[in-house]
């Protein structure tokens, strides 16, 4: 059903202006404005009836030149820009960038800052997965989980707002640690949230996990095998659902993830249903991490000794973290001045989106929407 030998070759598509003579094939455009493409993504489908013969993604509608901007801002000035890439999981973006610059400066954030960072990042992971679940279910037709997940996500956004003033693009961390001390009642809020959300995740599962229609729409849809996923550079829950048990938090721990006890959920078949299960379980594991972290926040400073003017030594560094969508990497080249010489962001959604072509070969049109949803792409990150 999936002809994988053509996995990476060019699609041999005509541009839409030229007429196509073969009457069996239809070229349909899922245009940039479409309720189901999670942003401005254009997918050109080559169909034979309902079957998809090939796809081509046209991206760049949200390209803002973030990497070019980075060369013209100082390290601290660039910090808010990274939130805007994956705007759903802004805290993770900030964490990756701040840690990359800290590595370049050869400083380490103090333990208390690391705990705060871990708590906020895992909260953001849950929020990102909740948004994913709501929109993915909506694409497949179940319209109620969307409202439930958004309602529960509000609690996380309230915590963010109390902490740093912003709900979505939080700019929560600074180079060297955190800027803001936790507000009075932070631990209580987080603990209340933990007890609040655990049964809610059960609610979502009750609606979907054993639902016959959900199973039919997601099982064996968008299958990608482990070796294919590795070759395509796919990371995150997509890779884990294909059976590769790899998570940067365990393989190359950053912040203080090595101190926490949590598991990496994996799937077996690499289909949409497995990715759904992996993300649901990841939410639960995030709750575990938050619980361990919030029960043991140490006292101490929240900011390391970092100079007022950040001028790292000449050199380059690559640092990556496990963002909710996959491996988010920052490759920063410093030339010794206050502005980075080059900042390269390795976006997980960009690389995951490449796998769309391989995953939908041979599927039906209705599955394309499901697969785009299950890849969990954010166009802000794909285009930067």
Give the footprint of other proteins on residues 229-288 (CB under 8 A): 230-234, 244, 246, 251-252
CB of 291 to other proteins, least distance (A): 26
If one counts every other C-beta atom within 10 angstroms of the C-beta of residue 150, the result is 15
Shorter beta-carbon distance to other proteins: residue 148 or 288: 148
Is 335 a binding residue for other proteins by CB under 8 A? The answer is: yes
In the numeric block, the tokens 């203080």 are attached to 256
CB of 123 to other proteins, least distance (A): 21
CB of 58 to other proteins, least distance (A): 9
Shorter beta-carbon distance to other proteins: residue 52 or 119: 52
If one counts every other C-beta atom within 10 angstroms of the C-beta of residue 224, the result is 26
**Interface pick for other proteins out of 185, 196, 198, 213 (rule CB under 8 A):** 213
Shorter beta-carbon distance to other proteins: residue 124 or 218: 218
CB of 194 to other proteins, least distance (A): 21
Stretch of residues binding other proteins (CB under 8 A), selected from 181-189, 214-222, 282-290, 294-302: 214-222
CA-wise closest residue to 316 among 342, 290, 339, 288: 342
d(CA 74, CA 312): 11
d(CA 41, CA 47): 18
Shorter beta-carbon distance to other proteins: residue 187 or 316: 316
CA 177 vs. chain centroid, Å, equals: 22
CB of 26 to other proteins, least distance (A): 8
Shorter beta-carbon distance to other proteins: residue 109 or 353: 353
Shorter beta-carbon distance to other proteins: residue 312 or 324: 312
What are the residues facing 25 on neighbouring strands? Answer: 48
What are the residues facing 323 on neighbouring strands? Answer: 326
324: tokens are: 């909710």
Distances (CA, A) of 187 to 194, 256, 301: 11, 18, 17
DSSP assignment letter at 158: H
Site for other proteins in 103-162 (CB under 8 A): 103-107, 137-144, 146-148, 151
d(CA 139, CA 208): 13
Site for other proteins in 10-39 (CB under 8 A): 10, 28, 30, 35-36
If one counts every other C-beta atom within 10 angstroms of the C-beta of residue 299, the result is 6
Shorter beta-carbon distance to other proteins: residue 297 or 379: 379
**Interface pick for other proteins out of 96, 265, 329, 380 (rule CB under 8 A):** 329
Shorter beta-carbon distance to other proteins: residue 158 or 188: 158
Contact 42, 57 (CB under 8 A): yes
Site for other proteins in 55-94 (CB under 8 A): 59-60, 63, 65, 67-69, 71-72, 74, 76-77
CB of 184 to other proteins, least distance (A): 26
Site for other proteins in 303-322 (CB under 8 A): 307-318, 320
CA-wise closest residue to 98 among 312, 258, 297, 294: 312
DSSP assignment letter at 71: T
Helix axes 186-208, 111-140, angle to 10 degrees: 30
CB of 131 to other proteins, least distance (A): 16
Counting Cα atoms < 13 Å in the Cβ hemisphere of 88 gives 25
Shorter beta-carbon distance to other proteins: residue 291 or 367: 367
CB of 218 to other proteins, least distance (A): 9
Site for other proteins in 162-201 (CB under 8 A): none
CB of 187 to other proteins, least distance (A): 28
Site for other proteins in 338-377 (CB under 8 A): 338-339, 341-342, 344, 346, 350-351, 353-354, 364-367, 369
Contact 118, 259 (CB under 8 A): no
Contact 262, 208 (CB under 8 A): no
Shorter beta-carbon distance to other proteins: residue 109 or 190: 109
d(CA 230, CA 52): 23
């Amino acid at each position: 059903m999936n002809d994988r030998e053509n996995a990476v070759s060019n699609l041999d598509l005509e541009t839409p202006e030229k007429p196509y003579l073969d009457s069996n094939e239809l070229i349909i455009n899922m245009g940039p404005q479409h309720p189901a493409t999670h942003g401005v993504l254009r997918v050109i489908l080559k169909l034979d009836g309902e079957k998809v013969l090939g796809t081509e993604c046209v991206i760049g509608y949200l390209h803002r030149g973030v990497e070019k901007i980075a060369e013209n801002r100082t390290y601290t000035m660039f910090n808010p820009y990274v939130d805007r890439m994956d705007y759903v999981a802004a805290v993770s973006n900030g964490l990756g960038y701040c840690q990359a610059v800290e590595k370049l400066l050869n400083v380490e954030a103090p333990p208390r800052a690391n705990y705060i960072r871990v708590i906020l990042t895992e909260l953001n992971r849950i929020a990102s997965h909740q948004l994913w679940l709501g929109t993915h279910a909506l694409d497949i037709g179940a319209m109620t989980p969307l409202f439930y997940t958004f309602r529960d996500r509000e609690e996380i956004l309230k915590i963010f707002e109390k902490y740093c003033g912003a709900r979505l693009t939080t700019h929560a961390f600074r180079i060297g640690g955190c800027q803001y001390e936790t507000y009075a009642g932070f631990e209580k809020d987080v603990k209340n949230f933990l007890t609040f959300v655990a049964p809610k995740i059960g609610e979502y599962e009750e609606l979907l996990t054993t639902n016959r229609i959900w199973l039919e729409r997601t099982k064996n849809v968008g299958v990608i095998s482990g070796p294919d996923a590795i070759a395509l550079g796919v990371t995150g829950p997509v890779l884990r659902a294909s059976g590769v048990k790899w998570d940067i938090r365990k393989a190359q721990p950053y912040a203080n993830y090595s101190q926490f006890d949590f598991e990496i959920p994996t799937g077996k078949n690499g289909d949409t249903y497995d990715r759904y299960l992996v993300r649901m379980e990841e939410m639960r594991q995030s709750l575990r991490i938050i619980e361990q972290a919030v029960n043991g926040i140490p006292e101490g400073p929240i900011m390391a000794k970092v100079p007022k003017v950040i001028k790292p030594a000449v050199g380059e560094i690559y640092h990556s973290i496990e963002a909710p969508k996959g491996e988010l990497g920052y490759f920063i080249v410093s030339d010794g001045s206050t502005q980075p010489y080059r900042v390269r962001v390795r976006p997980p959604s960009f690389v995951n989106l490449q796998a769309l072509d391989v995953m939908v070969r041979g599927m039906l049109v209705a599955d394309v929407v499901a697969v785009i949803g299950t890849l969990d792409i954010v166009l802000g990150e794909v285009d930067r």
